[in-house]
Structure 1
Amino acid sequence: MSWRYRANATLEGLTGYTLKRRLEKAPPKPPPPPPLVLQRLPGDVVRPPVDPEHDRLLREPVFLLSSVRSGSTLLRVMLNSHSQVHSPIETHFRRVTVGLGTDPVRQAMEALGHNHSDIEHIVWDRLLHRELTRSGKPILAEKTPSNVFAWRRLAACWPDARFVFLLRHPMSIVQSWHEADPEKRPMEEAVPRTLSYMTYLEEARTHLEGLTVRYEELVAEPERELRRLCLFLGLEFEPAMLKYGNKDHGAFVKGIGDWRDKIRAGTVVEGRPLPSADEVPAELREMCRQWNY
């Protein structure tokens, strides 16, 4: 029997306590590094194509930048009705990334002069170019509202890109977003959620050259606005753009499937009056001022 045991037994008999050596907690283990497939190449930066002639197949793509609930689907199908413009469904291409899961492939990409973003840009370009060539048309016009959050990267990926900025009254955007699903989209969330889109859209308008189109004017004077848009794109206006319901505009993502019937019937346009000044919350007033509403 060890002296430690005898001493502890005596102490416990006299006082009811025992002595225990305090164990030092081991320092927390550092989190494991992410697997190679999720790691970016060292020194990754977003930059224009190193070799534009060979790194890009798309020439002068058009990007429709807008907030959600701004009429971008309406403008898309109008453009897609032109014989020279292919405007596909929302592709969300910027969410497509690449994984370089082994050291040899990472070393090979670095030896070829690619950083991680370069490779993603090549994939994006190829994906969109495939859609364009399959359409048989020469001009691609892509619209995915979340692209406003990546406008800098779009401009870097395609330095020759053209931009169309679609505006709508900020409060109309908020109301439309809420009304699309009132239970899941309460009004108290509508302002901050949609304002983030508007903020980045205004930032893009400030830094990029492009054409601004207003949803309200597109609805009120569609031919006039489409003629202006065609002039910007170097195209002749085609009356078929006003008869967008006569064409198939591709599959619709979940959540807006009911728009297919509206488009075929030519009733996509929402005819809501502009909100009054009293209806505009304080958070939206600066945006209304910047957009001249």
Structure 2
Amino acid sequence: MSWKHHLAVRIARSTGVQITRRGGRGLLVRRPQRLLRQPVFVLSSVRSGSTLLRMMLDSHSAIYAPHELHLSKLRVQLGDHYITNSMAELGLDAQEVTHLLWDRVLDTALQRSGKQILAEKTPHNVFMWSRIARVWPDARFLFLLRHPAAILDSWSRARPQQTPQEAADSVGRYLTSLAEARRVLPGHTVRYEDLTADPAAATRRICAFLGLEWEPAMLEYGRFDHGTIKAGLGDWTGRIRTGTVQPPREVPDLALPEPLYDLAKGWGYPARRAG
């Protein structure tokens, strides 16, 4: 590498810019400043209790945990080559402009809430965990685990049109991505079983991870308005509407196919292998 390249790297590290290449030459492009500071993302599978966790988080005076926001569906499209070239001259492309939009939307929602920390729990975020980590390098992550057999049972009852194999494949995609994120990202692991068995202890550990004082109100989420509860925005079933933490259903004695069996064993859950 030339001395010019080494100098560019040193400048990038000291001034907060990134190096990109265009037309065969290196350019220094300043990383966009994010409005949202230290957001919290709950990474989980579907049917893992993420709506319960988000309502408990949202009951804390410092945490705003909105309904599922589905950021992956919010995209910016550059309509023609004029705007594409124009944004390129600013060191931006459609993806980075999308990231700026995400940041502004989430920061605006947080400011309107009057709270200090935003926590987002859309299960689909588990498929873009690396992108989230790039967009918000200071993001903090909560990994929500649940016994794969319980997830599969709940998902199968919610999606009766799926075959057993289709249901297992769907759950497997979520849990495999969750396992990858948990291997790479720093964060705090929450087990649904612990959250429902001893919610005070589980939420105290979460608050300690986030650097917050624990508040008993987190256990009484039914006292607060958490916005609309309906399909597409989170769990809308009767159990969540009770406003109190309910004991989990008994884990069904299901024989788990790969990779659910391996994930269950790796996370310390008892399991039977299919076949």
TM-score tier after normalising by the smaller chain length = 0.7 to 0.9
- Partner Cα separation in structure 2 for residue 122 and residue 133 of structure 1: 16
Matched, 1:282 2:257: yes
Query: Residues 143-292 of structure 1 correspond to what in structure 2 (within 5 A)?
Result: 143-182=121-160, 184-254=161-231, 259=236, 262-267=239-244, 269=246, 271-276=248-253, 279-283=254-258, 284-292=260-268
Instruction: Say whether residues 1:100 and 2:100 are aligned partners.
Output: no
SS of the residue 1:245 aligns to: helix
Shift in CA distance, 269/217, structure 1 to aligned 2, threshold 3 Å: same
Structure 1 residue 107 displacement after superposition: 1.6
1:262 and 1:256 map into 2 onto residues whose CA distance is 16
Kindly report which structure 2 residues correspond to 1:119-138, keeping only aligned pairs within 5 A, or say none.
Answer: 119-138=97-116
Q: Is the 8 A contact 2:69 2:233 kept in 1?
A: no
* Matches of 1:258 and 1:201, distance apart in 2: 19
Distance 2:203 2:101 in 1: 31
Within 2, Cα distance between the matches of 1:103 and 1:230?
Answer: 48
Q: CA RMSD for the aligned pairs?
A: 2.0
Give the counterpart letter for 1:290 in structure 2: G
- With normalisation by structure 1, the TM-score equals 0.77
Structure with larger Rg: 1
CA distance in 1, matches of 2:237, 2:149: 26
- Does the 8 A contact of 2:42 with 2:143 survive in 1? yes
For these two proteins, the number of residue pairs brought into alignment is 242
One of 95, 99, 117 as aligned partner of 1:139: 117
% same residue: 52
Conserved in 2, the CA contact under 8 Å of 1:63 and 1:163? yes
CA distance in 2, matches of 1:94, 1:261: 28
Q: Which has the higher strand share?
A: 2
Show structure 1 runs of 5+ residues with no match. Answer: 1-41, 44-49
SS in structure 1 opposite 2:142?
A: strand
Residue by residue over 1:112-143, the C-alpha shift from the partner in whole angstroms, topping out at 9 and shown as x without a partner, is 11122211110110111111111000100001
Does the aligned pair in 2 maintain the 1:56–1:125 contact within 8 Å?
A: yes
